[in-house]
Amino acid sequence: MSAGGAAVAARIEPSARREHILAAAEACFVRNGFHRTTMQDLAREAAMSPGNFYRYFASKEDLVLGLAEGERARGARLVAELERDGDRRAALLGIVTRYFVSITRETAILRIDIWSEATRNPAIAAMTARGEAEARSWFVETFGVLARSPACDPVALYALLGPLMKGIVVDRALLPDYDPAASVAQLLALLEAGLDGRLPLAPTSSAEPSR
């Protein structure tokens, strides 16, 4: 057997191969969008023959779903890694900073694309909803553990910080002058005030007439 690409490829585990393809697909999608990218483009980026490529992913939709699952799993792995030493506060600050604020423009673009696909594709919507539910329950639990005042309402605090973190991702993708340091500082200032019960938070099981 030669030492060429095919021999190298043959030694790669299927799960590693899937990761390799997903990384190549992410680069392609971010550059051109899901819809301008063809399966042929993706096989070329992954340095695979189209036939071999199709054995791993049968459609672009499967790849988008794989990327959405990867995004969700990335958040869960980061939580597990940061919680390993038992410091909930450090884990919270790490997640806010690394998963939402100090991300690359490419990661932010991919998240917006996944949101866009989730509005039309039920499988991607289900994956996104699962990620949202996991995030919400982790944040609410963590806020509860770290609250320094009975006036801190963890559910109401997430109802504020959840959309704020998503909006920061949008700004990251869109604004040429996006400043991660300023966004981190802003988010942490709100977080601290929220844990102290000093933020004006709307009640979460509201019956406001302003609808």
Contact 164, 184 (CB under 8 A): no
Residues that contact a second copy, how many (by CB under 8 A): 62
Q: Segment near a second copy (CB under 8 A), from 3-11, 33-41, 47-55, 79-87? A: 33-41
At which residue do the structure tokens 């990218």 appear?
37
Residue with smaller CB distance to a second copy, 25 or 48: 25
CA angle in degrees (0–180, nearest 5) for 117-120-125: 70
The answer to whether residue 204 forms part of the interface with a second copy (CB under 8 A) is: yes
Contacting residues for 204 by C-beta, under 8 A, at least 6 apart = 153, 155, 156, 159
104 scored as a contact of a second copy (CB under 8 A): no
**Which residue stretch of 5-13, 51-59, 84-92, 101-109 sits at the interface with a second copy (rule: CB under 8 A)?**
101-109
Nearer to a second copy (CB atom), residue 35 or residue 77: 35
Closer CB to a second copy, 137 or 206, in the complex? 206
User: Which residues have a Cβ under 8 Å from the Cβ of 94 and sit 6 or more positions away?
Assistant: 78, 82
CA 82-88-92 angle, 5° bins: 70
Q: Please select the residue that binds a second copy; options are 7, 47, 76, 185, rule is CB under 8 A.
A: 185
Closest CA to 115 of 100, 132, 128: 128
Q: Which residue has the tokens 């506060």?
A: 89
Could you give the CA distance from residue 160 to residue 44 in angstroms, rounded to a whole number?
Answer: 43
| Residues 145-184 within binding reach of a second copy (CB under 8 A) | 156, 159-160, 162-168, 170-171, 173-176, 179-184
Name the residue nearer to a second copy (CB basis): 56 or 158.
Answer: 158
Smallest distance from a second copy to CB 158, Å: 11
Minimal CA–CA distance to 190: which of 151, 155, 164? 164
Site for a second copy, rule CB under 8 A: 32-36, 97, 102, 105, 109, 112-113, 115-120, 125, 128-129, 132, 156, 159-160, 162-168, 170-171, 173-176, 179-186, 189-190, 192-193, 198-204, 206-211
